[in-house]
Structure 1
């Protein structure tokens, strides 16, 4: 009788357990550690049948760390320092934390390495015309071609002056629209845009862009003859300064021109204002 009573309760319990299988934990990979001297534990992600993929704007956490049994307002700084995370970035990765770390919890996981998930160019279209979708990590190629606004992986796609973003220097360094210089993000010129950025902030080639009186950056034309210093200025500069009380003159590797601020250089603004 007791056996029948026990089986009566065991079978319903087993049936209910099968109706709702437990979630399992799956460990992520351990690539991308920023400080190899400190072991980092891969972030564990709860995997269920209703698992939600990371969306653009979400925190894509690559590693997490667990706080100890005792925490205080120093704990955030301690975590950030230990795992080599910039302090402001630590709070970006953990948006629920107060900036004074007052609500940090003991024995709780916090992200110490990761990034904000960007909009990925899953369809191969990238850049400003396509909501600034990035080619990074995309199978079509990881260079955004500014001529076609598509992801690619050829030499042309990734070339300076053509590659807008991705595994290249990108538009923040090399202009992809022909504008350059201090009024345009201090971008440089390369590729189809020419070798030089002139004083007007335009890329090009030739005397109108690379000439000694007009060139701002790039392969500027430098005068073959060194400027003649005034009498008494005969000592070569030891530190890149020139003129003044010491009477230093400019020599390589500091540049051959002394500008109006007493600094050696080779740019047009250095030579135009020198001796």
Structure 2
């Protein structure tokens, strides 16, 4: 998850026990109680240690975002973990009744946290009557948004369904019946233990509640499901709403700067359906949902108050025909003479997985904004392929970039890992190996930070004492003739070969220390460490020592502050948001939530082990 890391240190063969600490063991309870605005009894109830595997229980607050393996389920779903979570919920329900706390911009009931963990545990650990894990079983289910009909559904009079005789029947119209769970799934699936009880758990989600607008839909569908399956499973819908209000920003606090739209702006009001919006602006259907917060149940992408930002228009393909269920990302790419990386880069907001496309769904088969001519490849001054010296990024680098990086790229608002890989001829695996902190899902790619797109390629070693571009780009280090290549193309050592004025490559002496406060690309490329002006070279090309010169985003060379951390300027925090900002001392709250937003809620999992040494 976003903000939690658990270190495992084991000596011997067996890990006997582990624990999940809700708050750090050295937490200042009095300070946090005051920051939360909750009673001491409530804090004591929340501040529990539960006997659960820390690596898996840290994921249960959002169980649908996790791929649960058999090992995960075995580690999490223990009797002791279930009992401790149940006890935690009971204590919090009693001690925190009426208390609230700010979380991610919302005012929440203070007892929401144990309830969320209990619900996630119940989802992840749900079993069928024959003992199979239901979440793992659901990975084989084929999902669908609505029932659809092939174009020739009513074309053959010998095989026409009764509805084809209805003059008002339209195969392109999606009705509420077409979207009903009873219509979409066969009896063998929808009436199974796992399907019915997973639907029940959706209704029992503590963050849903009786007043949520989505609850009536889930409740109506659950009743239809039970009627069709002749079951009588009781669902306990939470009567209390955990969300109590919206957190207000203190007077005088800076407002977040709205992000510019790099695509097409659709002004409010607009009452287009999602399908019509996608077709009018030539964008993927998934992008229409994502940009407007469209309701997939009602297929409604109405824009009522603020404008929506759609991607740039692309060459669009509408998926239809009787073989729609066989369409995959790979088959679309192959039939349109594009690579799978291109398809994924142009369609980052698909509605489903790569083998789950709906009838009428639109996708890009050309780049958003149209085709363009790629710039010529950048080569090093020697004219050979590859990058033979470590590059200096123009802006702060996202953590995890390899040390020996030959070329950096600055992430823009429309980039994905696939689009960057495509641009530089990389596989996704290569890109991730150059940037080890970027997640495989690419959910933590930081805007306006540099990422590595090419490693340093070693040069051949000189065998005759000659070096440089005129001699096959050979290098002197390790050659036996000296470690410096002079500007005349000869290997050697000492001032004649290694001084800043004479050395072209190799173990050259340090560049001149700045005599006038300029550095980097300004003036003569002076360096700052050791100068009277400060040890940091700012991105503007001047030496200094304050945060204006050394701080994240401001420093290009020298003794720069780590380009992560610092107080959040906009309420985002944690490693999945650019800057990995912290919250302490800001007007937004004291703690970084699991969702990457400032709140006053702090969690920290640790693990305790009893080691069996043989």
Comparing both structures, which one devotes a greater share of its residues to strand?
Answer: 1
TM-score exceeds 0.5: no
Higher relative contact order (CA 8 A, sep 6+): 2
